[in-house]
Structure 1
Amino acid sequence: MARKKFAMLNVSLLNTKSFRDLKSCSDRNVYFTAHLSSQADYSGLFRYPLSLFASEAGIEDARLRVSLERLTSAELMEYEPDSELLRIGGWFRSVNCPDNLSRVQSLVQWYLSGELPQADICRRSIAEFVLGCLARAQRFKAGSQHGPKIVDELRSFLATAGVTFRNLRPFLEDEFRAHGASLAREFEDVMLGLVEAEAKVQRAADRLQMQDASRLEPGWEQGEATLPPQKNKVESNEKRKNEEGREAAHSDHDQGFRGSNGNPRPLAETLNSPIVRAIRSSA
């Protein structure tokens, strides 16, 4: 996103409760420094390392952190330490909101560029962007095509952003409840894009679940000690071989008791007994 060479502020800011409740000049200094920062861009969401922030504000890091906490509580600013992202609250409810399709498209491309992390600070920025642009689109004269084109662009945007930034719905709905009372029809229209995105996400999840299920071998049952068919087959083969071996042994043993004609043959002990020998000698 291109850096800004100028800053714009609504003069009505001085009359807002959130700003007037800032009793510390340090807090106001931090707020204005963010607008005038060398890192500021047209989205109100930009990377701003605390060391650079403190240097440009002319205060110590510790005082900067305290001011950021108070500004966050007042919903005038939000800072994400992990990504070092700063979001100026209400950016798209001010004169900084894009007022034509070309600027809307530029911001859409930036949100979808892959440069932003999938963090809540980005989801809040997107929600404010969508509602702010819808409010700005209402200002076009009746019959103008500029407003409907912006609505169409936002619907297409959510159809993609809803896949990239999962769980966008609660952030959009929160922003709508807070600032979208007059935008019900337009909001319902663009949310069709989010519905499409959510359907894509669900289909992808279903496909993964089906793929995981197909990887399980037939015979396995979830939560039961069912053996896979290959193991059952091996054990069955071994059992059959053992039974065949026992049958063969019995057959060989039986064969020893039978003559060539199949009739029973006397045992060697019987043939060598005294009685048999006496019969043989008298014959």
Structure 2
Amino acid sequence: MRRALVGIVALSVSAAPVGVILMLRRMSLTGDAMAHAILPGAALGYLVAGFSLPAMTLGGLAAGFAVALAAGAVARLTVLKEDASLAAFYLISLALGVTLVSLRGSAVDLLHVLFGNVLALDDSVLLLLAGVASVTLLLLAAIYRPLVLECVDPGFLRSVSRSGGMVHLSFLALVVLNLVAGFHALGTLLAVGLMMLPAAAARFWTADVTRLIVLASLFGMVSGYGGLVASYAAGAGLPAGPAVILAAGVVYLASLLFGSQGGLARRLLPGRHLQR
């Protein structure tokens, strides 16, 4: 449980800020698509070396980058938009990854790849999560200004700087890197949950980008602690990984109802006189 909590905290520090930027760029579903895209690479690593951390990590990174680049190339060379091409590639990747795991492994292995096992994190995985968190924070600090500017006004960024393409590629690399790290703890299907749910919940409390990042990370940590405690209390009937994402869902629903920035309860209450 302690190792699981450390892993969730590391993911919250790195993945939640990436989720905030995805949300601001209206690319929330891109994270979900990329989470499925890493599956065939991880499956190939599993076929070659079993549940080997280096093999599955390198395979997932290679598959994620390949799908991202292929989707971008199709969008630029054909009439198909990037969201449609990404959806096509992620569906192919998901089916291919499940097939590859099924060729050698059992149903238990498939469940482990798809949903992870946050209670089985060893030292090597924790070091990987800590390393990804460090790289993410450093790179976000380096590209923070152009990244936020591109979210607000990409046309202005193109007019004053040529760094837009490099910033976009660097950010996509961070998305893939965090999804591969999250895959080892939560599996390919749930890794994106800790990236997007805390970010979406934070938006109901503040509109400031810096506060969004901090609040999203805090929500991720609270969700991790609450989900692990709930899983421990419920016993074997509630797996730890899904419990963490369900806790993040509870935080999101509570923010949706009671958030100070557009929450439903505030909208339903009568406003002050002469105020909207």
Which is helix-richer, 1 or 2? 2
TM-score, structure 1 as length reference: 0.27
Structure with greater contact order relative to length (CA < 8 Å, sep ≥ 6): 2
TM-score, structure 2 as length reference: 0.28
Larger radius of gyration: 1
